[in-house]
Structure 1
């Protein structure tokens, strides 16, 4: 039954809640534990037997970039093989250009275009829902389906239109009560929380390559581990679980814990990194402190700088997570605290104290 169901991933927003990370990258393609969010979503469904996917995206960046990354799904097939799952029938489809008025409108267009007569599971491109798909479907089938695909013009968006329509037209509405994992990772704080949850093994259907687990809950790519092994064994580099480090990285004497380090990252001596995500190609110079923060790709953190959510000299904003965008240079001796728009600037001068 699950194999015949289509999973429709709706991607239409500009990702403004995740600025500045989404200025040059669609939100679903932001890495989560060194793998794009949208691949993490697909992974959860593929592991449970789903094989048919439709990407209903809007806008050039969302549509073209996602297709470039996802392709025909060959990377997902290889990834599943590392988990002992052989797949020969994975099907990725991409809806044509369509100026939809919301997620429901995009789904209706995709269903009509691909002539879908089977059931569909609709998932947002920033929703990590590690739940039991079979149990969820069983619940809905027992309720004899809440809502069938109809040509209803008033329903443009699932969130804004569908629930009010169902209530106003006396449909029976049920919620699937569960103890599984679900999170909208479209904000910095929730993104960082789900990253930590994946590291700590709280998601049943997302697993790292067991061959890369060098110590308990410490995953390091092979070439990086070979480069750092002597320093780790002599405790010049202190690693505290959980931790994931990508390939082609070099780390001098440093303390790193509960963090994700991307590929081709350089971390110089004296750095302390905790509860953080560091993107690919980033350079962290000497004696920096990175705590509860997100660092974009191809960025430089100048020596003696502190990027820290616990900096409390200023009034807190809604998000307590400092976010540094891609291709940004933080000048030496800088302090960055809370998440605000000034961090969008490409260069932050040494004398600036941003919050």
Structure 2
């Protein structure tokens, strides 16, 4: 049972450009991409609220003006939302310091910091309580991965004290990595230089460790996913729809597929594997869709096959086309008989004629 943490405040880092997810992020910030039927952040916000978080400061930068129209003041979510914008990107530490202007927490209070591109099933409440009990400067959620070279490698001692922070090292000493959820003591945030570009991974955390401050690890082996690539984004949506990670924001029961209002799936189509079918989207007879994300108003034509792919808003995948591990941008048209595999990406508004390609990485 998730336990409440009254009056806990959080900072949500949502300033990144999401370049690895292009073309999906050309017009929409990564945290707002539709994921299992709702904007990605809706899952994070609902989960934070379930642990007692009631006030969240958004640290925005890229397309900053798009967040408030989606979430407003947070009242509909049972939250108070505040928006702080970096005029120039300030790095992770600079973003946290800038967003701290919107906090009301006192110097000794814990402040939760969440990255806006992570899905996690760990116990936030337990992480915060452990931070407070140990009187740590910062407590880092840690998880284990098969390839730690792509992440911040975080060795700890027998009492979970972090002994080093090795950002993207080619020779990791452990497979335990920074999972992107932190609990800071508010006074520690205030030591980050204001208005400067600062990396918590390369500067703040190593500096605290070197000065003898307690940087605590919170190791955990529950569900965790960085949704920074198209394949991971599709997997995250799929896992939420299938119920592999529970989310209070899921707009329907978990199952093989999720349909939003106005969607039409032919009785002669097959939709499986945690597919999310957007509002007013159409899946025609004979089509097969597995483990994919279908945007609002898109059309999957008769006999088309779509697997582990994203089809953007208003896009049209015509009859007989095969998509596998592909990204189709908003309003793009893929003519009949095409075959796009293994990381293919079609930019928004592009029209591919009939049988134009059997494979393309970028069109």
Q: What's the TM-score once normalised by structure 1's chain length?
A: 0.77
Any conservation in 2 of the 1:155–1:161 contact (CA below 8 Å)? no
Q: Separation in 2 of the partners of 1:155 and 1:261?
A: 38
Q: Separation in 2 of the partners of 1:48 and 1:127?
A: 17
Task: Report the equivalent of 2:276.
Answer: 244
Q: Secondary structure at the match of 2:66?
A: helix
Any conservation in 1 of the 2:119–2:225 contact (CA below 8 Å)? yes
Alignment match of 2:39 (pick from 32, 36, 47): 36
Any conservation in 1 of the 2:335–2:351 contact (CA below 8 Å)? yes
Alignment match of 2:224 (pick from 182, 187, 190): 182
Q: Separation in 2 of the partners of 1:278 and 1:206?
A: 25
Any conservation in 1 of the 2:326–2:345 contact (CA below 8 Å)? yes
Counting matched residue pairs gives 306
Q: Secondary structure at the match of 1:176?
A: strand
Q: Separation in 1 of the partners of 2:87 and 2:110?
A: 22
Any conservation in 1 of the 2:328–2:345 contact (CA below 8 Å)? yes
Task: Report the equivalent of 1:72.
Answer: 73
Q: Separation in 2 of the partners of 1:98 and 1:260?
A: 33
* Distance change (3 Å), C-alpha of 1:276 and 1:122: same
Q: Separation in 2 of the partners of 1:334 and 1:271?
A: 15
Task: Report the equivalent of 2:204.
Answer: 162
Structure 1 residue 146: Cα displacement: 2.8
Q: Unaligned regions of 5+ residues in structure 1, if any?
A: 78-86, 310-320, 344-355
The runs of at least 4 aligned residues of structure 1 exceeding 6 Å deviation read: none
Q: Secondary structure at the match of 2:113?
A: strand
Per-residue Cα deviation, 1:288-338 (whole angstroms, up to 9, x for no partner): 0111222222221111111211xxxxxxxxxxx333333232332133647
Q: Separation in 2 of the partners of 1:222 and 1:56?
A: 31
1:224 pairs with 2:263 = yes
Structure 1 residue 113: Cα displacement: 4.7
Task: Report the equivalent of 1:56.
Answer: 59
Q: Separation in 2 of the partners of 1:143 and 1:270?
A: 59
Any conservation in 2 of the 1:259–1:276 contact (CA below 8 Å)? yes
Q: Separation in 1 of the partners of 2:252 and 2:314?
A: 25
**What do you get for the CA RMSD once the two structures are aligned?**
2.5
Q: Separation in 2 of the partners of 1:156 and 1:260?
A: 35
Q: For structure 1, which segment, 173-182 or 236-245, has the greater mean C-alpha deviation from structure 2 after superposition?
A: 236-245
Per-residue Cα deviation, 1:85-139 (whole angstroms, up to 9, x for no partner): xx4xx20101155545222222223223544323211112222223211121122
1:151 pairs with 2:191 = yes
Structure 1 residue 240: Cα displacement: 2.9
Q: Which has the higher strand share?
A: 2
